[in-house]
Amino acid sequence: MRAVDIIIRKRDGLALTREAIDTFVDGVTHGTWPDYQASALLMAVCLKGMEPEETLWLTEAMVRSGERVDLSDLGAFTVGKHSTGGVGDKVSIVLAPVVAACGGVVPKMSGRGLGHTGGTLDKLESIPGFRVGLSIPEFKAVLRDVGACMIGQTATLAPADKKLYALRDVTGTVESLPLIAASIMSKKLAEGCRALVLDVKCGSGAFMKDVAHARALAEAMVSIGTRAGVRTEAVITDMEAPLGEAVGNAVEILECLDVLHGRGPADVRLVTRRLASRMLVLAGLQPDDETAAAAADQAIASGAALERFRRMVERQGGDPRVCDDPRLLPLAPGTVQVTAERAGFVTAMRALAIGQASCLLGAGRDAVGDPVDHGVGILVRAKPGAQVAAGDTLLELRHRDGRGLEAALALCREAIAIGDEAPAHRAKILEEVR
């Protein structure tokens, strides 16, 4: 089957056969399809879409392009979580130890930040010594002892996705529902979890800008997971404004520690509690949402979740003293405030612009492999809905020697709107797909 014929078929809006999709993924994995043909097919998929069956075949072919982690010898019902990416989204870092403290086993392979969204691995690496590059045997040993372990994707997992994602990133083909669904689900299926809860972000700071698109993505991924034999559900959560009050790396770890200590922003606690409940129910550890949520609350109140986090940090080479002494985290010394120009209510705090501003300060990267500054970031001092007086602090930027500061300040000012009336309440949890 010639590559050009497969491209033409999709260009003309026709469905591809399983064989054609296998040929494409195989060609990308082994380098027999040149980048220009792979990119042409990606663009055709982006413009013409895929049927659910084609998306499933694409996902399965991408899983088969590499290894599938076998976690069956852990003797536990493993339950994973994945977020489609947002600004200030540090939920995994709190959630994994909470679920582990409730008896769950949470193998978490995460990504790095790219574009305006932050990455769990970059955040964790702001803990001195923390290693995200464990081997699979090391990963399993930590899971056995602690119940939670958070590492980077190994090179052998869904290698076709690595190549395709890199091509999509530079050919304007990231924003495609079937390509996003297959990319995420191929990695999740290769990770070997038996259940999976997806946090599909929706709003200005997310790939999916409105609920209809977020729902379609959630349904596609739930369908792929279920058909592959993994109990899969999705929760659609708001990403119009940043989640929590910290955006960056070390500043987000600080916020996670706050939540694990029983404090922290209400929205982070709410999303964590909801996802934890569904993970515990899906794993068969709790009978219903109510008891599951109570178990998650108790795990935090008793200090059991913090203890799991401490053990996970220690087993992954990090300094566990950060749990009680956040001064060990590398915070950048410079601070600048963005203040309210007038009195009123904060009606908008656009996540996309805040995420971009944080990247400009150095918390994110422009290209894969760029270093990040763990110490810089943005603290949200007035969330949407807050009533402020002229001159009140809205945001605090932590910078290093003024790097990126001017442009970041301009973006932050654009991100905020102040009006005369309080904005309508925006729920953080928008919908669920089961």
* Site residues (vs ligand URA, CB under 6 A): 84-85, 165, 174, 179-180, 183-184
Q: Which is nearer to ligand URA, 165 or 309 (CB)?
A: 165
Rounded Cα distance, 6 and 16, in Å: 7
Nearest residue to ligand URA by CB is 183
For the bound state, the minimum distance from the C-beta of residue 382 to ligand URA, rounded and expressed in Å, comes to 30
Rounded Cα distance, 388 and 8, in Å: 57
By three-state DSSP, how is residue 80 classified? Answer: strand
Q: Which is nearer to ligand URA, 140 or 201 (CB)?
A: 201
Q: Which is nearer to ligand URA, 235 or 340 (CB)?
A: 235
For the bound state, the minimum distance from the C-beta of residue 114 to ligand URA, rounded and expressed in Å, comes to 8
82 counts as catalytic: yes
Q: Are 434 and 237 in contact (CB under 8 A)?
A: no
187 counts as catalytic: yes
CA distance readout (Å), 270 to 95, 276, 298, 322, 432: 11, 10, 14, 24, 14
Torsion of CA 266, 274, 235, 193, to 10 degrees: 130
Q: How many helices (H) and strands (E) does the chain have?
A: 16, 13
- Count of alpha carbons within 13 Å of 147, Cβ hemisphere only? 19
Query: Which of the residues 9, 10, 168, 274 is marked catalytic?
Result: 168
For the bound state, the minimum distance from the C-beta of residue 135 to ligand URA, rounded and expressed in Å, comes to 22
Place of tokens 């070390």: 250
277 counts as catalytic: no
Q: Which is nearer to ligand URA, 39 or 183 (CB)?
A: 183
Neighbours of 98 (CB within 10 A): 31
For the bound state, the minimum distance from the C-beta of residue 165 to ligand URA, rounded and expressed in Å, comes to 6
168 counts as catalytic: yes
For the bound state, the minimum distance from the C-beta of residue 247 to ligand URA, rounded and expressed in Å, comes to 18
First to last CA, the chain: 38
Give me 31's structure tokens.
């380098």
Q: Which is nearer to ligand URA, 215 or 273 (CB)?
A: 215
Rounded Cα distance, 285 and 332, in Å: 42
By three-state DSSP, how is residue 154 classified? Answer: coil
**Residue 229 — φ and ψ, nearest 5°?**
90, 15
Rounded Cα distance, 57 and 22, in Å: 8
For the bound state, the minimum distance from the C-beta of residue 293 to ligand URA, rounded and expressed in Å, comes to 28
For the bound state, the minimum distance from the C-beta of residue 48 to ligand URA, rounded and expressed in Å, comes to 17
Query: Which of the residues 112, 123, 187, 308 is marked catalytic?
Result: 187
Q: Which is nearer to ligand URA, 54 or 396 (CB)?
A: 54
Amino acid identity at 139: F
Q: Which is nearer to ligand URA, 179 or 195 (CB)?
A: 179
Residues 364-387 as b/e (b if ≥16 CB within 10 A, e otherwise) read: bbeeeeeebbbbbbbbbbbbbebe
12 counts as catalytic: no
Q: Which residues are catalytic?
A: 82, 161, 168, 183, 187
